[in-house]
Chains A and B, each alone.
Chain A
Amino acid sequence: MAATAATAVLAALRGFFGRFRWRPQAPALAGGVRGAARSAAAGRPDYDLLVIGGGSGGLACAKEAAQLGKKVAVVDYVEPSPRGTRWGLGGTCVNVGCIPKKLMHHAALLGAMIHDAPHYGWGVPQQVPHDWSKMAEAVQNYVKSLNWGHRVQLQERKVSYFNMKASFVDEHVVRGVTKGGKETLLSAKHIVIATGGRPRYPTEIEGALEHGITSDDIFWLKESPGKTLVVGGSYVALECAGFLTGLGLDTTVMIRSIPLRGFDQQMSALVTDYMASHGTRFLRGCTVMSVKRLPDSQLQVTWKELASGGEGTDTFNTVLWAVGRVAETRNLDLEKAGVDINPKSKKILVDAREATSVPHIYAIGDTAEGRPELTPTAIMAGRLLAQRLCGQSKDLMDYDNVPTTVFTPLEYGCVGLSEEEAVARHGADHVEVYHAYYKPLEFTVAERDASQCYIKMVCLRKPPKPVLGLHFLGPNAGEVTQGFALGIKCGASYAQVMRTVGIHPTCAEEVTKLRITKRSGMDPTVTGC
Chain B
Amino acid sequence: MALRGPRSPPSPSLLGSCRHQVLGPPGSRFAPPHVGPASGQSHPKPSPGYLRFRSAFPMAPYLEVMVSGFEDFNRAVEQHKGKTIFAYFTGSKDAEGKSWCPDCVEAEPVVREGLKHICEECVFIYCQVGEKPYWKDPNNDFRTNLKITAVPTLLKYGTPQKLVESECLQADLVEMLFSED
Contact = CB atoms under 8 A, between A and B. Distances in A.
Interface stretch (A143-151, A345-353, A502-510): A143-151
Interface string B154-174: 000001111100010010110
> By DSSP majority rule, is chain A's interface helix, strand, loop, or mixed?
helix
B78 interface: no
A151 B160 contact: no
Contact of B159 (A142, A144, A152, A156): A144
A151 B180 CA distance: 10
B159 A155 contact: no
Interface in B123-178: 159-163, 167, 170, 172-173, 176
A22 to B, nearest CB: 31
B160 A155 contact: no
B180 A156 contact: no
A152 B160 contact: no
Contact of B170 (A142, A147, A156): A156
A144 B172 contact: no
B153 to A, nearest CB: 13
Interface size class of B (residues with CB under 8 A): 10 to 19
B173 A156 contact: yes
B163 A152 contact: yes
B161 A155 contact: no
A152 B180 contact: no
A151 B159 CA distance: 14
A151 B170 contact: no
A525 interface: no
Interface string A339-363: 0000000000000000000000000
A432 B158 CA distance: 57
Contact of A144 (B160, B163, B167, B176): B160
B71 to A, nearest CB: 25
A141 interface: yes
Contacts of A145: 160
Interface string A129-159: 0000000000001101101100110011000
Nearest to B175: A155
Contacts of A148: 159-162
A152 B160 CA distance: 12
Interface in A176-208: none
A145 B156 CA distance: 12
A151 B160 CA distance: 12
A156 B164 CA distance: 13
B177 to A, nearest CB: 9
A382 to B, nearest CB: 23
Q: Which among A142, A145, A155 has the highest number of chain B CB atoms within 10 Å?
A: A155
Nearest to B166: A156
Contacts of A156: 170, 173
Contacts of A152: 163, 167, 173, 176
A142 B160 CA distance: 8
Contacts of A155: 170, 172-173, 176
Contacts of B163: 152
23 contacts: A141-B160, A142-B160, A144-B159, A144-B160, A144-B161, A145-B160, A147-B160, A148-B159, A148-B160, A148-B161, A148-B162, A151-B176, A151-B180, A152-B163, A152-B167, A152-B173, A152-B176, A155-B170, A155-B172, A155-B173, A155-B176, A156-B170, A156-B173
Interface of A: 141-142, 144-145, 147-148, 151-152, 155-156
Kindly list the 3 A-B residue pairs having the minimum CB-CB distance in the complex, ordered from nearest. A145-B160, A144-B160, A148-B161
Given A148-B162, A155-B173, 13 more contacts: A144-B160, A144-B161, A148-B160, A148-B161, A151-B176, A151-B180, A152-B163, A152-B167, A152-B173, A152-B176, A155-B170, A155-B176, A156-B173
